[in-house]
Amino acid sequence: MTEPAASSFTTHFVAVLMPEPESLLDDKGYYGPMLQGLSDALREQGFYMRPLQCLHEYQRERFLGSPAALYAGVVFLGPTGTFEPFVREVTLRAPGPKVLLDHHLEGLAAHSVREDAEAGMRMLTAHLLGQGHRQLAYIEMGDPKVNPWKRRGINLALTQAGLPELGRGLVAGCRDNFSDVSAALDWFLTLEPRPTAVLCSDDVRALLLLQAAAERSLRVPHDLSITGFGDLAVRTGRSKALTSAHIDPVQMGRRAAELIAAGPAEPLAVLMPPELVVRTTTAPPPG
């Protein structure tokens, strides 16, 4: 961004950079409510959200070339965090507060607001251990670098209980489709001893795992306990049974707006606390 000329002009627009604005705005379970919370809280402070696409290189270059005085601040929405060089360049060149929403990068001159994924997974793991499970497996996202905190939370709970961390073969990276999750379950069923509980990185994969278990005549939770993360299944009405860690995306968006409205300040890393919600997909292991 070019430096603004001296002027009394004050903008009230906040750039919200995201790879695909339409799909994220239409997401009724997570990013949609998060963006609604962000927009509502910004308006309450006299600012207006302007969604901008940055999926392609030319779009990122166009934003970097726009006059800096156009925006009072910048919010990077979750998936944008994967474009790390672009994010770092914007934080160096753009005026006003910057916030990574649903992501965090070390050493960045910007705030971050994200779920406390490590604490949430630690609570879910401790819940399973408290029920007597000792053979745990984990279905994570296809790219583990996107959210390393969840596996870290599982391993922390295991070591605190005097158990070894998740070993080779007990972690399966899966895209959010039935084929990947079904293949992961088949792999877990070949292990000896077989896992009695599977933690999933989110509710979407947990719901797919429930479907795969039903197709194999596995009774949940009698034969296999399953947990999700985020409580998306209940918010969207897809399940009332899934044990999960509840996260409120609306409050995440509102917290990001507060940091923008507060003006320049030392970067804060805000972790939104999850809540363990135990339902009927978890029970003590067989026997």
Question: Can you give the pLDDT at residue 287?
Answer: 79
Asked if the model's pLDDT at residue 137 lies above 80, the reply is yes
Tens-digit pLDDT profile for residues 13-24: 999 999 999 999
Say if residue 129 is in the same domain as residue 219: yes
Say if residue 101 is in the same domain as residue 160: no
Say if residue 241 is in the same domain as residue 252: no
Note down the domain range covering 37. 13-115+248-273
Beta bridge partners of 75: 16, 99
Asked if the model's pLDDT at residue 7 lies above 60, the reply is no
Strand residues in 206-282 grouped as ranges (E): 225-227, 244-246, 269-272, 275-277
Asked if the model's pLDDT at residue 155 lies above 50, the reply is yes
In a domain, 145, yes or no: yes
| Mean pLDDT score of the chain | 93
Overall average pLDDT of the 163-184 stretch: 96
Say if residue 145 is in the same domain as residue 125: yes
Q: CATH number, domain at 189?
A: 3.40.50.2300
Overall average pLDDT of the 243-255 stretch: 97
How sure is the predictor about 277, in pLDDT bands with cuts at 50, 70 and 90? very high
In a domain, 73, yes or no: yes
In a domain, 5, yes or no: no
In a domain, 202, yes or no: yes
How sure is the predictor about 9, in pLDDT bands with cuts at 50, 70 and 90? very low
In a domain, 86, yes or no: yes
Question: Can you tell me whether residue 14 is helix, strand or coil?
Answer: strand
Say if residue 45 is in the same domain as residue 108: yes
Cα 66–chain centre separation: 30
Question: Can you give the pLDDT at residue 272?
Answer: 97
Sign of CA dihedral 132, 137, 141, 145: positive
Say if residue 111 is in the same domain as residue 151: no
How sure is the predictor about 1, in pLDDT bands with cuts at 50, 70 and 90? low
Asked if the model's pLDDT at residue 3 lies above 50, the reply is no
Beta bridge partners of 49: 14
Question: Can you tell me whether residue 73 is helix, strand or coil?
Answer: strand
Tens-digit pLDDT profile for residues 65-118: 998 789 999 999 988 888 999 999 999 999 899 999 999 999 999 999 999 999
Say if residue 137 is in the same domain as residue 194: yes
Alpha-helix residue ranges (DSSP H) falling in 131-227 = 148-160, 178-190, 203-215
Question: Can you give the pLDDT at residue 145?
Answer: 82
CA distance 185 to 31: 28
Query: Structural domain tally of the chain?
Result: 2
In a domain, 174, yes or no: yes
Say if residue 265 is in the same domain as residue 243: no
Say if residue 197 is in the same domain as residue 264: no
Say if residue 220 is in the same domain as residue 262: no
Question: Can you give the pLDDT at residue 49?
Answer: 96
Tens-digit pLDDT profile for residues 187-240: 999 999 999 999 999 999 999 999 999 999 999 999 999 999 999 999 888 999
Say if residue 211 is in the same domain as residue 227: yes
Answering whether pTM is above 0.85, one says yes
In a domain, 4, yes or no: no
- Residue % of the chain over a pLDDT of 90: 84
In a domain, 185, yes or no: yes
Say if residue 134 is in the same domain as residue 107: no
Overall average pLDDT of the 164-188 stretch: 96
Overall average pLDDT of the 147-176 stretch: 96
Q: Is 41 exposed, middle or buried (0-12, 13-18, 19+ CB in 10 A)?
A: buried
